[in-house]
Amino acid sequence: MRIGLEIHVQLPTRSKMFCSCPAAGSDGPNGHICPGCMGMPGTRPSLNRAAVEIGVKLAKLLNCTIPDVAWFSRKVYFYPDICRHFQVTQYETPIGSGGVYHLGKKPIRITRAHLEEDPGSIKKSGDTALIDYNRSGIPLVEIVTEPDISSPSEAREFLTALLRDIRHVVDIPDDGERSIRVDCNISMAGSERCEVKNVTGLKNVERALTYEAVRQTKVIKSGGKIVRETRHYDEERKVTTGARKKEFESDYAYIGEPDLGVINVRSIADSIVTKESPLDVTKRLQKEYGLDERMAKQIVNTSMLLADLFEHIAKRIGAQSALTWVTGPISSNWKALEKDAGGKRDDIVDITVMHKEGRINDIECSMRLKALITGEDLGGIESRGGDLDALIRKAISENPSVIDDHRKSEKAANRIIGAVMKASGGTYSSSDIVEATKRILNEMTG
């Protein structure tokens, strides 16, 4: 099975790509339009430099080759979602080409990434189609992969990781209209490929591809042939349906866009400082702090903010001690902290430094971190968390068989350790729980 994706990412610019209409929000249908984005005769586009800058950042993220100069083309087609009947896009000179994205150890080759404007949206209502041009002219980057993805679940995994990295580099909001749309190309061994157009949402991408894989396999098994075609994904019925025979690039007429001229991409690329990608940070955590790959990934995948916090703590108290607090009480209360991780960072570092200097013990440090992160009252946490010994004894009384099991194997203690960790919600460090549980079980089985 070979899967290739074309991912359309709306870019978070304030205005549209070629006019000054707002790119976000709406004042109802066709509230954000002007003669420019409506392609009225006599109007001329002017390029939004911010869109090019973001395009370059994404091309860098995807390890693409960035051209020295680029220009736009008019992709001529007749469909009411673009009322001037051509879409301004990049054809010969994409903003990036020949890149690669590493999904874990697997390289997914990136054919190209190009800038283009979004067309308007069409809503069908009975026999009538309503067109809203608010979306028309919003900048997009279209990322095209080689067919290197080998399963629907891998496609979802790839998109999840890619989106996380894109969000880190260009601050794309998590939801709203600026979501991504994906065209999914899939072929079974030796067969023609089909393209499922305009799938939104990562779950739907996986579902649409799974449906196609099953459908195509059935057709081939029953002696049929897959015809190259474009299909639609019906989110309600969770099926794909044939739309039209696949058009080829040569079916479109591309002509150079004369009004925008040549863009000096090199000078824009040289002037941009890009943030470190999550992959780079994962590598750096291993190299600079001696973390193993799994741990570095776990921290970065939770959040780049957690990685940042880890570094700040590690610089003061060393990587190993920092890891104890970051993977313990900080990770277990991450949901509460995430929104204000920056604001609480210095206080968190201070608490761990107090522990390092011996001014507070393990339990106090855990409780103070939890109180700071959750905003709960310290006294409340102490009384609820209670005495660690009491919590362990309670867990043992709820699992009395563990005492006999422990006589046979020390591993039985893990059941109690797991239960206590869950019950105490990160109040105690895991090493404290392990130590105390073993001590109490040894006393009981003595």
Using CB under 5 A, count the residues that bind Zn ion.
5
Per-residue CA distances from 126 to 120, 123, 129, 234 (Å): 19, 10, 8, 17
Q: By rule CB under 5 A, what string of x and - marks binding of each residue 391-430 to Zn ion? A: ----------------------------------------
CB atoms within 10 A of CB 224: 10
- Find the part of the chain contacting Zn ion (CB under 5 A) among 33-41, 234-242, 341-349, 354-362: 33-41
Which of 3, 9, 11, 37 touches Zn ion (CB under 5 A)? 37
Report 349-368 residues binding Zn ion (CB under 5 A): none
- Rounded Cα gap, residues 166 and 164, in angstroms: 6
User: And the tokens for 365?
Assistant: 């440090």
Per-residue CA distances from 319 to 2, 161, 287, 362 (Å): 42, 26, 12, 17
- Find the part of the chain contacting Zn ion (CB under 5 A) among 31-39, 53-61, 69-77, 143-151: 31-39
Closer to Zn ion at the Cβ: 21 or 285? 21
Least separation in angstroms between residue 36's CB and Zn ion is 5
Q: Should residue 138 be labelled a site residue for Zn ion when binding is judged by CB under 5 A?
A: no
Closer to Zn ion at the Cβ: 37 or 196? 37
Q: Should residue 317 be labelled a site residue for Zn ion when binding is judged by CB under 5 A?
A: no
- Find the part of the chain contacting Zn ion (CB under 5 A) among 34-42, 76-84, 293-301, 320-328: 34-42
| CA nearest neighbour of 418 among 409, 402, 404, 408 | 402
Beta bridge partners of 194: 186, 229
Least separation in angstroms between residue 11's CB and Zn ion is 16
- The type of residue at 48 is N
Least separation in angstroms between residue 124's CB and Zn ion is 25
Least separation in angstroms between residue 35's CB and Zn ion is 8
Q: Should residue 36 be labelled a site residue for Zn ion when binding is judged by CB under 5 A?
A: yes
Task: Return the C-alpha torsion angle 163, 168, 169, 172, nearest 10.
Answer: 60
Closer to Zn ion at the Cβ: 31 or 176? 31
Question: In sequence order, which residues have a C-beta less than 8 Å from that of residue 416 and are 6 or more positions away?
Answer: 392, 395, 396, 399, 402, 437, 441
Report 11-30 residues binding Zn ion (CB under 5 A): 19, 21
CB atoms within 10 A of CB 353: 14
- Rounded Cα gap, residues 96 and 57, in angstroms: 10
Least separation in angstroms between residue 48's CB and Zn ion is 11
Closer to Zn ion at the Cβ: 37 or 330? 37
- Find the part of the chain contacting Zn ion (CB under 5 A) among 36-44, 304-312, 340-348, 426-434: 36-44
Least separation in angstroms between residue 33's CB and Zn ion is 6
User: And the tokens for 43?
Assistant: 């109007």
Q: Please answer whether residues 360 and 378 qualify as being in contact, where contact means their C-beta atoms are separated by less than 8 angstroms.
A: no
Least separation in angstroms between residue 140's CB and Zn ion is 15
- Find the part of the chain contacting Zn ion (CB under 5 A) among 35-43, 74-82, 124-132, 206-214: 35-43
Least separation in angstroms between residue 45's CB and Zn ion is 10
- Rounded Cα gap, residues 205 and 211, in angstroms: 10
Closer to Zn ion at the Cβ: 21 or 115? 21
- The type of residue at 16 is K
- Rounded Cα gap, residues 163 and 294, in angstroms: 20
Which of 34, 131, 239, 434 touches Zn ion (CB under 5 A)? 34
Q: Please answer whether residues 228 and 245 qualify as being in contact, where contact means their C-beta atoms are separated by less than 8 angstroms.
A: yes
- Rounded Cα gap, residues 213 and 155, in angstroms: 13
Least separation in angstroms between residue 356's CB and Zn ion is 57
User: And the tokens for 312?
Assistant: 């700040």
User: And the tokens for 120?
Assistant: 């308007």
Q: For binding to Zn ion (CB under 5 A), which residues are involved?
A: 19, 21, 34, 36-37
